[in-house]
Structure 1
Amino acid sequence: MGMLVLALGLVLIVEGLAYALAPSLVERLLEILRSLPLAARRQTGLLSMVLGLILVWCAYQIGF
C-alpha cells in the first residue's frame, strides 16, 4: 500500500510541475488531444498504461 501512495505522490508532483511551469503548453496539448479521434486517444491512453506498467515492473526488478 505504501508503494501505491508513493507512486501516486510522484505522479501528482510531475503533473503539478507541468501545470506550474508550462500552463500554456498544457493548454496546447489539450487542444491537440481534443482534435484527435476517440480511437487515437484511447490508443494513447493504453500505450501510456503499458509503458507505466513496464516501468513499474523494471523498478520492482531492480529492487525499488
Structure 2
Amino acid sequence: MQDILLGLAFYLIIEGLVYALAPSFLIAMAKLLPGFSEGSLRITGLVAVAIGVGMVWLIR
C-alpha cells in the first residue's frame, strides 16, 4: 500500500510541476490532441503503460 501511495505522490508532484512551470505549453498540447486519431492516442497510451510496467519490473 505504501508503494501505491508513494507512486501517487510522485504522480501529483510531476503533474503539479507541469501545471505550475509550463501552463502555456500544456494548453498548446491540449489543443493538439483533437488532431490525433483515437487509435494513435490509444497506442501511445499502451506504449506508456508498457514502459511504466517495465520500469517497475526492473526496479523491483
Q: After TM superposition, which residue ranges in structure 1, 4 or more long, deviate above 6 angstroms? A: none
* Residue 59 of structure 1, CA deviation: 1.4
**Pairwise mapping of residues 1-64 of structure 1 onto structure 2 (< 5 A)?**
1-60=1-60
**Over aligned residues, Cα RMSD in angstroms?**
0.8
Unaligned residue ranges in structure 1 (runs of 5+):
none
Unaligned residue ranges in structure 2 (runs of 5+):
none
* Residue 31 of structure 1, CA deviation: 1.5
TM-score for the superposition, normalised by structure 1:
0.87
Number of matched residues?
A: 60
Structure 2 residue matching 1:51: 3-state secondary structure: helix
